[in-house]
Amino acid sequence: MPISKFENTMYVTAYELARDGLPDKQIAQALGVAQNTLVAWCRYRPALADALARGRRHRDPGNELTFHQYIYDHLSPNLKDLWDEINECEELENGMERMEALFKYHGKRARQHLFVYSLTQSMFNISQSLRKLGIPRKTYEGWCANDPEFHELMDEIHWHKKNFFEQAFIGRVACGDTAAVIHAVKTKCRDRGYSEKIEIEHTGTLQHEHTIRIVDLDLDLETRKKVLDALRAKQQALDALRAKQQGALVDLCQGP
């Protein structure tokens, strides 16, 4: 491990970068080392790991946090250590073998948790996440079909995702982002007149008219003819009554 490259000023740098919301990979790049080196430094130098943790706890609200970093912060300490070891394995020739050994020790549930975290890091690319952790597709499909706890885990990640989106949205409102403020008042203050839609409340019974053709009825020809004749007679009577009423109205208007 290139521990000799470490300088004491990096404690402060690491703290500031973590406070600004950078993930470990970008922090390592800023320090001029590979991510697995940063992981090794954190193991050998607990003060560095503490600086990163404190920076993330004291994050500037004005800096936006990536979703996968948000989830990483919610992993248990053991899973964080396991994830860091997996990232370290990626750069080794026998990385996959070492990764399998890690999972044999930590069990299926740890692999599932890290798969869910890997989803957040890969923008929910399932294939990429399976490949990173060496999980066969059939294993993943088996989890989805037969493991209720895995379903709960996926539900939990979606719950965290909603919280993250809501937190980011409220942060934009707090910063005075015009679009975010407008959206907030339109959705949360509709009862105060900020909605663009006019909502009409209707009480009572709605009546609908429907047209049914005789040919659509399941009637024989003779019955259809009788119905048609009856309708025509009814229509003629209505027409005659309407003509009589119109004539009476004309006479009334003309007067004696």
For 160-214, the pLDDT digits (tens) are 778 777 877 887 888 788 888 888 888 888 777 776 665 555 566 656 566 666 6
**Which whole number is the average pLDDT over 103-112?**
78
**Which whole number is the average pLDDT over 7-20?**
85
- Please tell me the predicted confidence (pLDDT) of residue 250: 45
Above pLDDT 70, what percent of the chain?
Answer: 77
CB 69 within 8 Å of CB 52: no
Between 72 and 19, the more confident residue is: 19
- Please tell me the predicted confidence (pLDDT) of residue 124: 78
Domain ranges within the chain, ordered by starting residue: 3-188, 214-254
Specify the length of the chain in residues.
256
Between 113 and 31, the more confident residue is: 31
